[in-house]
């Protein structure tokens, strides 16, 4: 792929010069698609129009009609913060809890542009897990400075290393996705972020998507007993709920046993009447 500052039209002209032929319009489109395909492989981003049977993703592809690849990426990840809602990224804010507590489905994606993007009315979130790709491109001039490092930090936030709960959950996810090969086995290789590193202000490129995801997580309510049991975000609410459940179950059992004993006594008396004086 030519230099990062070359515009797409200039890249196409270079290819024409290499081929040393004048291409008809139909072949021009084929050449443009070929350049888009190379860009997709290089950046792991869905660039260019879809070809039948090749792409199965939720979002629309990124149109690269002019400008350089660097310009295109800069428009996708410009670092502008449009949301100023304060949120706290607590230790409980990890990928397994998004599903188990928040009821938010995790969708593993190969498209970097979809990372942390919510869809389906904020009921599912995409996660780009290919941490080896991120590490290999730490110094790639196509991406804004610090972008790859911050993306790795989002994985450390959601998939912290040495967390047995995360490791067990991720292994199950890998077995489920084994045929698709969309989960990097090293995704949970980064240590847990410290409290100061988990401040939302420490995130620039992924700030708004993290805010939206955290808001969806905070606003979610338990929908079944399993979620009620695992949801410790509000300890007072958790204890009150399970105290009420225990009280209801206890009273039900007590009155059930009492009714059974009373019935047994009545049956016994029916077959063994007291002797007349």
Sign of CA dihedral 255, 257, 260, 264: negative
Per-10-residue mean pLDDT for the chain, 277 residues long?
Answer: 67 69 64 85 85 50 86 90 91 92 92 94 93 95 95 96 88 79 83 92 96 92 61 56 61 73 66 61
Is the CB of residue 204 less than 8 Å from the CB of residue 81? yes
For Cα atoms 250, 255, 259, give the angle at the middle one, nearest 5 degrees.
Answer: 150
Is the CB of residue 128 less than 8 Å from the CB of residue 111? yes
pLDDT at residue 264, rounded to an integer: 67
pLDDT at residue 209, rounded to an integer: 97
- 124/246 Cα distance (integer angstroms): 33
> Which of 183, 163, 186 has its CA nearest to residue 174?
183
- 39-78: pLDDT as tens digits: 899 999 998 876 554 444 445 788 888 888 889 999 999 8
Is the CB of residue 131 less than 8 Å from the CB of residue 187? yes
Strands 124-128 and 105-109: parallel
Is the CB of residue 11 less than 8 Å from the CB of residue 42? no
Token pair 């489920």 is at which residue?
A: 176
DSSP letter string, 139-164: T-TTSPTTHHHHHHHHHHHHS-TT-H
**Of all helices (H) and strands (E), which one includes residue 246?**
helix 235-271
pLDDT at residue 238, rounded to an integer: 47
How would you classify residue 259: left for phi > 0, otherwise alpha for psi between -120 and 50, otherwise beta? Answer: alpha
Q: How many CB atoms lie within 10 A of CB 45?
A: 23
């Amino acid at each position: 792929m030519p230099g990062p500052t070359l515009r797409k039209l200039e890249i196409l002209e270079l290819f024409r010069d290499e081929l040393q032929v004048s291409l008809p319009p139909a072949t021009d489109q084929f050449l443009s698609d070929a350049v888009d395909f190379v860009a997709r492989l290089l950046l792991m981003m869905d660039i260019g129009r879809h070809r039948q049977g090749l792409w199965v993703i939720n979002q629309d592809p990124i149109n690269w009609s002019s400008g350089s690849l660097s310009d295109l990426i800069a428009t996708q990840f410009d670092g502008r913060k449009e949301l100023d809602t304060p949120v706290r990224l607590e230790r409980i804010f990890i990928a397994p809890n998004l599903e188990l507590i928040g009821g938010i489905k995790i969708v593993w994606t190969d498209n970097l542009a979809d990372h942390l993007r919510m869809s389906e009315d904020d009921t599912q979130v995409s996660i780009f897990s290919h941490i080896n790709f991120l590490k290999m491109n730490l110094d790639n001039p196509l991406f804004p400075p610090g972008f790859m490092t911050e993306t790795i930090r989002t994985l450390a936030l959601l998939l912290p290393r040495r967390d047995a709960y995360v490791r067990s959950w991720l292994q199950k996810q890998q077995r489920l996705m084994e045929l698709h090969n969309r989960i990097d086995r090293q995704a949970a290789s980064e240590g847990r972020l410290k409290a100061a590193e988990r401040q939302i202000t420490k995130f620039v490129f992924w700030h708004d998507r993290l805010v939206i995801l955290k808001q969806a997580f905070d606003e979610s309510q338990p929908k079944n007993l399993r979620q009620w049991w695992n949801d410790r975000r509000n300890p007072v609410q958790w204890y009150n709920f399970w105290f009420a459940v225990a009280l209801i179950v206890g009273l039900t059992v007590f009155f059930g046993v009492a009714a059974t004993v009373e019935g047994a006594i009545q049956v016994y008396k029916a077959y063994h009447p007291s002797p007349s004086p």
